[in-house]
Amino acid sequence: MMKMFFKSAALAVVSALAVCCAPRPAEVENLGAECPQWKASWIGASWMNTLWDAESYESALTALREGVRDTTLAAPEFRKVFTLDKKLRKATAYVCGLGFGELWLNGVRVGTDQLSPNETEYTSRKGLEETFVPAPGSNFSGYHVQYMSYDVTSFLHKGENMAGLFLGNGFFHTHSYRWTSSFGAPRIICQIDLEFTDGSTGCIATDQSWDVRRSPILINDMYDGEVYDATYCGAWEKAELREAPDGEMVPQLTYPDKVMEVLSPKRIEKTADGCWRVDFGDYITGWTALKHFTAPAGTVIDMVHEAECDGNGLWRYVSDGSTAEYAPRFTWYTFRYVTISGWPGELDADDIEARAVYGSMPVNSKFECSDTLINRMVHIWWRSQTDNMHVGVATDCPHREKGPYTGDGELACPMVVKTFDALSFYRKWLRDMRDCQDRETGYVPNGAPWHPGCGGGVPWGSAICIMPWECYLQYGDTSILEENFKAMCDYTDYLTSWRRSDGTCFQQIEYEGGFLDITNLGEWLSPGEDPMKDLVHTYYLWKCAGNTSAAARALGRVAEEEKYAALADDVAKAFHVHFYDAGYGHYGHLGESSASEPVEGRPVVGNGSDFFALDMGVPEDRYESVMSVVKENFKSNGGHLNTGICGSSLFFRVLCDLGEYDMVWKAISATDFPSFGWWIVQGADTTWEQWGGAASRNHPMFGGALAWLYTHLAGLRPDPEEPGYKHMIVRPCPVGDLTYAAYSVETSYGEAAVRWERSGSEFRIDVTVPEGCHASIWFPGSDTPIEAGAGKSSFRSTM
């Protein structure tokens, strides 16, 4: 893929120098190695020395859309010819393009990663206080820049060599001023450290001696797409030095984006207007790749990646008449269907493929049950989550916004950590959150790295207290708590600044003298009405205080453990006093409407407030009354949930803990609105933003509600006192007519697994306990666990 980079230009230089291209190794991976000493300088191109103003950008973009070549926005390609006159023992390359960079050596791309390096809060920016959703950027706590490292020994040889760099805009500089804010003109740095067999060393580093020119990539933008004109070749000039970003340079240690799947067309049809429409069978992010095709010089091929939201932008290829293979590289698209215009002749399945691109962290778990609908729910969530796992963050949606929303992330986190090997992913993303945390107040914004389009509220910033604890439970690594403990304390303390005289919490950030609703959200996108914001804010203060206390206990910080435990207790008391409505016998009342609208004319009764109270622990003397209201609302709703993104993460888990299996089964097996099953009946390939299907249909945030399938239905969860499955809690909650469920996960100790099966009156539980671990196993309805040690065990009981 992508040899077109040097085909039109740099390979010609290589040929003139009589340099042979090195064979490409089977796999070249990012080493995650630290550069011993940076000697290289940041470089850029003269035509990109300032921020593009909106008018110039729109003019160039309009010209390109109308088929007029405009090189104003062309991506730079750099080159450096150098000679090795001694035998090489080892060569290590370090490279960082802001936003994205690629290294080529002797005409061969280095690395299999895509869209590198990961997005971070690279450097300081001006004007963030005046953007669509303001943030005090001047008070951010820190900045980081990640770089890639590769062993490139096999790419180089004695004699003439050539290094090439491609620089893309990425999230460092985007045009979408509503959703993002530019950090400045793109720039790149590269250093190749050389070790020779005679013990001497050398270094090839970016500086003003490198050449640069406009590449055939005439536009690349995360929202406006990519245009490649193979007939264009810019003139070489000298690179210019660029100012170093503020961010600390650190090696990228997370799993990079890669081409993770290749999909062949499932159906190709010719449309009435002569275009071709291709169905790839699944709703993915990535790009379509043209394979070994030939078209007359000047042929313009346009691809429209179909999605329910905007954000895909252009995908255009202009042929130079040669046989070529091409795919985009500095953006991604979201699609299942692609419409192609300008294709010469017939389009065959061998001419095109779809490449699913997302973070390469491995799935390290398996889940299955006897119900195919539930299995499908897990699959569409997995697809939506991977579609939104890019550049070291999880986005809310992969097309319209591409925003690293902290709230969406914390809600999906329990499901993500139980599905993927995600510790390094969260370690990096949590550092982004700490960087964006206000160093004076402790406030954590709604997105990190900060995108000024990210709306949210208390549940969003609370990610800094929720994600570290979820990671600790799943992986048993105390360092994730150590790294984030101060930030957890600071954010919890920040929330206490919003406590009212009655002890409840209500964040009301103002902007330009008024209340800005989009920065103070509570629950979001219920199928009917949302609970009151202050009820939700108070619940999250309780949760943050509890998690911070638990983290302190795990770290042996007695004073902080006691401080935040006392705070959690005090907040819970205030919650139960203020939000319980004795007249109605439950918590909360109908609040303001969300953006979600009921479908099929069916109103949804209730607002889900009681699930926040039940998770906190309802006082015994009002429990029966509260559950009576919950059951009545459930019945009125036809056996459906009535919760938004926050309450849905509690709904199934809370009801399982309370033994309300009939309600759980009715809600999870429902196939009419509102339910996961209704989405599937509508043909969903991914989880949606709203229960009714409005707006985006590729949002993973509701998937957090499915974590109960692993922890309660299958029944495997880690013990907080011995996390990482050192002590396995096995407590299945068989619901409905399911006959079996199974979940397994790779832990640091080995595989931990449970499978239960029932037939007639017999109930069987099979467990796999890793070496050095132990398990406590409860049969349904039993109050006494069975203890098991390492190994495989099977237990039977009569129900």
pLDDT in tens, 120-162: 999 998 888 777 787 777 899 999 999 999 999 999 999 999 9
* Residue 618 binned pLDDT confidence (cut-offs 50, 70, 90): very high
Asked whether the whole model's pTM tops 0.85, one would answer yes
Q: Residue holding tokens 């090489």?
A: 88
Q: How far is CA 142 from CA 122, 137, 272, 480, 493, in A?
A: 9, 10, 55, 18, 20
pLDDT digits (tens, 9 = 90+) for 413-433: 999 999 999 999 999 999 999
Please tell me the predicted confidence (pLDDT) of residue 67. Answer: 87
What's the pLDDT tens digit per position in 686-700? 999 999 999 999 999
Average pLDDT over residues 768-792: 97
Task: Classify the C-alpha dihedral 282-283-289-294 as positive or negative.
Answer: positive
How far is the C-alpha of 607 from the C-alpha of 609, rounded, in Å?
A: 6
Predicted local distance difference test score (pLDDT) of residue 177: 66
Q: How confident is the model at residue 733 (pLDDT cuts 50, 70, 90)?
A: very high
Instruction: Report whether pLDDT(307) > 50.
Output: yes
Residue count (the chain): 799
Query: With contact defined as beta carbons under 8 Å apart, do 655 and 643 qualify?
Result: no
Taking only the tens place, the pLDDT of each residue in 619-677 is 999 999 999 999 999 999 999 999 999 999 999 999 999 999 999 999 999 999 999 99
Question: What is the structure's pLDDT at 12?
Answer: 35
Residue 6 has pLDDT above 80, yes or no: no
Neighbours of 760 (CB within 10 A): 7
Site of tokens 């393009």? 97
Q: Is the peptide bond before 99 cis (omega within 30 degrees of 0)?
A: yes
Q: Residue 293: what pLDDT? A: 84
Q: What is the pLDDT of residue 292?
A: 84
Measuring CA to CA, which residue among 141, 230, 242, 249 is closest to residue 186? 242
Mean pLDDT, residues 723-732 taken together: 98
User: In terms of pLDDT, which residue wins out, 16 or 760?
Assistant: 760
For the chain, the average pLDDT equals 92
Q: Closest Cα partner for 605 from 568, 562, 640, 575?
A: 640
Please name the residue that has the structure tokens 């097309």.
399
pLDDT of residue 517: 86
- Among 61-70, 203-212, 318-327, 341-350, top mean pLDDT goes to 203-212
User: What band does 200 get if pLDDT is binned at 50, 70 and 90?
Assistant: very high
What are the pLDDT digits (tens) for 334-370? 999 999 999 999 999 999 999 999 999 999 999 999 9
Report the percent of the chain where pLDDT is more than 90. Answer: 84
Return the SS3 of 612. helix
The answer to whether the CB of 394 falls within 8 A of the CB of 403 is no
Classify strands 108-109 and 76-84 as parallel, antiparallel or unpaired. Answer: unpaired
CA dist 526 and 646 (Å) reads: 9
Cβ 317 vs Cβ 326: under 8 Å: yes
